[in-house]
Amino acid sequence: MDIPNKINYSFEQNKKCEESNFDSVLKEKWNEAQKKGVFRYILNIRNSKVLDGKYQFFVQLNIDRGYSRRSPENITSMTQPFDEKSFNFTKIAPEEEIMNLDNGSEENVIAVNVSPIEYCHSLLLPQKCKKLPQVVTKYSLYKAVEIFSLSCSLDIRVIFNSLCAYASVNHLHWHLYYLKQRMLLEYIDLEDYAGNVKVLRNYPAKGYCIKYSDTQNIEDFITWAFLIIDYLQRKQIAHNVYITRAKSNNEEYGDLRIYIWARKFSTGIKDISAFNPAVCELFGHVTVKSEEVYNSLTEEYIANILEDITEECFSLVFDELKELIQKQMRKGNENSIKTQ
């Protein structure tokens, strides 16, 4: 995959720029779509709170998402092929598409999520017309990371749920949204693992992380992240990916982190009224759909769920994935020696 040179990959949030042209256009188009009644409901977060405890889980009550959203697809396998007859993003209404990333082309489209969890919740649809299943391609990861070079906001987040990890539609897509809440995983300490890959261990959802500051090279940044994702896909291990701005060593938000979690399978039709530990929940952003659940949630309850769905899978892939990374490093060193 070639990284286009025209993109200026500066992920540092400009202190003088709280909103780029991308941010302002996305917000304008998203708000317009909401006013025109394109959504299934008007975003209405009834309540929110940070739970007591060391993990700072941020919980939001969004009742409408539980009862007004489109019925999720019946996901049965990591290798489930794209199904033309099922709902897919070629069937969305034209007014749902609010932006494209390719100067008028329909190749890479941003569409509103008609059942939003947060402000400007939208869908990045890479190579939409190719009708690819919900499997990360290196190109789609590049397009997901590209959004951070287009946005000035500290609050932009880009996320991915694999099949059997609470993906609702089997058509390649990433979610993006703005979350103003500052989160623990923007700055939590990580452990060394192998090469430029770190381990998120001192947290209930154990996983892997690549920091842009450890690579300082966009192609390496994407290559290391994709190495892990592709490994999980080939092994048919369900996974979630969360990309966020992060603090750098000088405490400024000059870094970018890609978190990747291997996790237990979830198959069948998602229960949209229940507590579903998908990618946002693994990151610590918990959306619930009932007041009863909202009032009863504790840090211990969430932590136990996150640990249960990630601990076994984290341990299962730990040694083999480390060996794969080290093998890739040796290959890179050999290629470097040959070019000298």
9, amino acid identity: Y
How far apart are the C-alpha atoms of 309 and 271, rounded to whole Å? 17
270, amino acid identity: K
| Catalytic residue check, 171 | no
How far apart are the C-alpha atoms of 270 and 293, rounded to whole Å? 17
Instruction: Give the distance from CA 205 to its chain's centroid.
Output: 15
**CB contact at 8 A, 224 and 210:** yes
Which member of 121, 173, 175, 285 is catalytic?
A: 173
Q: Minimal CA–CA distance to 119: which of 13, 45, 174, 46? A: 45
C-alpha distances out from residue 135 to 131, 161, 207, 234, 298, Å: 11, 9, 19, 10, 33
Cα distance from N-terminal residue to C-terminal residue, the chain? 23
SS3 category, 183 = coil
- Report, as residue numbers or ranges, the catalytic residues: 173
